[in-house]
């Protein structure tokens, strides 16, 4: 097999002449520069999101006062007291500034509904959402990518047709409907999973969250599968694959080491989009299963006009999306050596 090794290291033009050490150094420089630049752009974005949310809650019919006065006897004194407590008479920019400086000190304010600090409310629910999303994305990728590769390899055959059909069905199913289908068939009919609630201790919690996580995983899987299939087929048409075939390289080797590695670039992007997509899916899935996560927190806050909680949750979600985006772009550098090197040199 000496012949095979002599033709192997040529996946990307421009890469061959560069020693590994230099590559890695260039990569590090690029990542550092990139993260710095990205943060500079994304921090204003987070501010913009919270500012927009702030403006929205205060322009909404009745404003925050309407939310605050719910279920309470309305006397002018009560209104005055509430206005003073939440400083609603200050001009809006001042109110936003107060909230913003609070955030810098790690104080996100207090919930109107429960009078607990927003940070506590979020902290108590964060783990459920994190677990759901993490498991969901793991299932979506670990099952979706191999199935997508399989479909691409069996293109046009029955297996391919079935897999594509399945992915179209999954992509057309709203997360809440999928949750209800699974709840009925797997939870009730088959009795495999508990039906409601988050569970208390660790093992029970995993068991309780398995069905919601599976829902999210399947919800994202259709997209991952179709995208993997599409980008694998795109790679199979490239010259380098034809060349590798002509040289007699094994088809497993070509599929996994060459085509899949190149196909991974769009798939990584998809994983990033998936993270934001599953965040929305989590809102629905948490609602169906009655789980105390960030999603249900946000929906409850939105419905009752609990503006400190809305702003706090949105801030956390914005930060989440920003971090995922940065992680995805850094992942590119490791998957595709050309990215980091070109950027660092250019």
Partner 1 sequence: MSTLTREGSRVSLLRWSGLRRMPPFLILLAFLVLAAVAVMALFASVLEPYPPDELDLRNVASPPSSEHWLGTDTLGRDILSRIIAGADMAITGPLFVAITGILAASLLGILSGYLGGSVDMMIQRCVDFMFALPGLLIAIVIVGVTGGGYWMAVLVLALLNVAGGIRIIRSAALEQRALPYVEAARTLGVPRRRIMYVHIWRNISAIVFANAALDFALALVALSSLSYLGLGTQPGVPEWGLMLAENQSLLFSNPVGVLSPGLAIVFLATAVTIIGDWIYDRFSYGGRTGR
Nearer to partner 1, 66 or 206 (CB): 66
Taking CB under 8 A as the rule, does residue 181 contact partner 1? Answer: yes
177 binds partner 1 (CB under 8 A): yes
Residue 233 near partner 1 by CB under 8 A: yes
Q: Minimal distance in Å, beta carbon 248 to partner 1? A: 27
**Of 252, 243, 316, 309, whose CA–CA distance to 279 is shortest?**
316
- Taking CB under 8 A as the rule, does residue 173 contact partner 1? yes
Annotate each residue in 280-299 with x if it binds partner 1 (CB under 8 A) or - if it does not, as one string: x--xx--xx---------xx
Residue placing its CB nearer to partner 1 in the complex, 213 or 274: 274
Question: Is 220 an interacting residue with respect to partner 1 (CB under 8 A)?
Answer: no
Q: Identify which range of 73-81, 110-118, 132-140, 164-172 contacts partner 1 by CB under 8 A.
A: 164-172
Matching residue, tokens 């490239």 = 238
- Name the segment binding partner 1 (CB under 8 A); options: 70-78, 102-110, 139-147, 159-167: 159-167
Closer residue to partner 1 (CB): 6 or 172: 172
Interaction between residue 183 and partner 1 (CB under 8 A)? yes
**Closest approach of Cβ 201 to partner 1, in Å?**
27
Q: Select 42 or 143, whichever has its Cβ closest to partner 1.
A: 42
For residues 127 and 181, the answer to whether their CB atoms sit within 8 Å is no
Task: Select from 93, 156, 191, 346 the one that contacts partner 1 (CB under 8 A).
Answer: 156
Helix residue spans in 86-117 (DSSP H): 92-104
Cα–Cα nearest to 309, from 115, 42, 66: 115
Neighbouring CB atoms inside 10 A of 295's CB total: 25
DSSP letter (8 states) at residue 110: B
Judged by CB under 8 A, the number of residues near partner 1 is 64
Instruction: Check residue 160 for interaction with partner 1 (CB under 8 A).
Output: yes
CB of 202 to partner 1, least distance (A): 28
188 is a site residue for partner 1 (CB under 8 A): yes
User: CB of residue 299 vs partner 1: minimum separation in angstroms?
Assistant: 6
Binding flags for partner 1, 313-332, as an x/- string (CB under 8 A): -x--x---x---x--xx--x
CA gap 288, 299 in Å, rounded: 12
Shortest reach from residue 17's CB to partner 1, in Å: 22
Interhelix angle 261-289/202-236, nearest 10 degrees: 140
> Going residue by residue from 25 to 64, which x/- string records binding to partner 1, judged by CB under 8 A?
--------------------x-------x--xx-xxx---
**What residue spans of 154-174 are helical by DSSP H?**
158-172
Write out the residues near partner 1 by the rule CB under 8 A. 45, 53, 56-57, 59-61, 151, 155-156, 160-161, 163-164, 167-169, 171-177, 180-181, 183-184, 188, 226-227, 229-231, 233-234, 265-266, 269-270, 273, 276-277, 279-280, 283-284, 287-288, 298-299, 302-303, 305, 310, 314, 317, 321, 325, 328-329, 332, 339, 343
């Amino acid at each position: 097999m000496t012949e095979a090794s002599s033709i192997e290291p040529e996946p990307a033009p421009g890469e061959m002449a560069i020693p590994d050490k230099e590559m890695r150094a260039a990569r590090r420089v690029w990542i550092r520069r990139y993260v710095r630049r990205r943060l500079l752009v994304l921090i204003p974005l987070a501010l913009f999101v919270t500012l927009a949310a702030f403006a929205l809650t205060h322009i909404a019919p009745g404003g925050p006062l309407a939310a605050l006065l719910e279920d309470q006897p309305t006397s002018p004194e009560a209104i005055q007291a509430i206005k003073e407590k939440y400083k609603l008479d200050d001009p809006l920019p001042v109110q936003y500034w107060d909230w913003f400086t609070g955030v810098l000190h790690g104080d996100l304010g207090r919930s109107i509904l429960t009078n607990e600090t927003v940070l506590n409310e979020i902290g108590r629910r964060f783990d459920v959402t994190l677990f759901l999303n993490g498991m969901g994305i793991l299932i979506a990728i670990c099952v979706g990518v191999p199935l997508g590769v399989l479909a691409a390899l069996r293109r046009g055959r029955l297996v391919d047709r079935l897999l594509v059909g399945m992915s179209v069905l999954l992509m057309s199913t709203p997360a809440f409907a999928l949750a209800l289908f699974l709840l009925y068939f797997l939870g009730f009919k088959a009795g495999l999973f508990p039906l409601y609630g988050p569970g208390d201790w660790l093992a029970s919690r995993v068991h309780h969250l398995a069905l919601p996580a599976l829902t999210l995983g399947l919800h994202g899987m259709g997209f991952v599968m179709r995208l993997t299939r599409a980008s694998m087929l795109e790679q199979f048409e490239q010259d380098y694959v034809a060349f590798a075939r002509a040289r007699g390289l094994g088809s497993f080797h070509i599929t996994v080491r060459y085509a899949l590695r190149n196909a991974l670039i769009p798939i990584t992007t998809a994983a990033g989009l998936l993270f934001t997509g599953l965040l929305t899916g989590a809102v629905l899935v948490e609602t169906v299963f009655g789980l105390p996560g960030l999603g249900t927190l946000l929906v409850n806050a939105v419905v009752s006009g609990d503006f400190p909680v809305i702003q706090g949750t949105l801030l956390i979600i914005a930060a989440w999306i920003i971090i995922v985006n940065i992680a995805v772009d850094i992942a590119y550098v490791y998957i595709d050596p050309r990215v980091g090197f070109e950027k660092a040199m250019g």
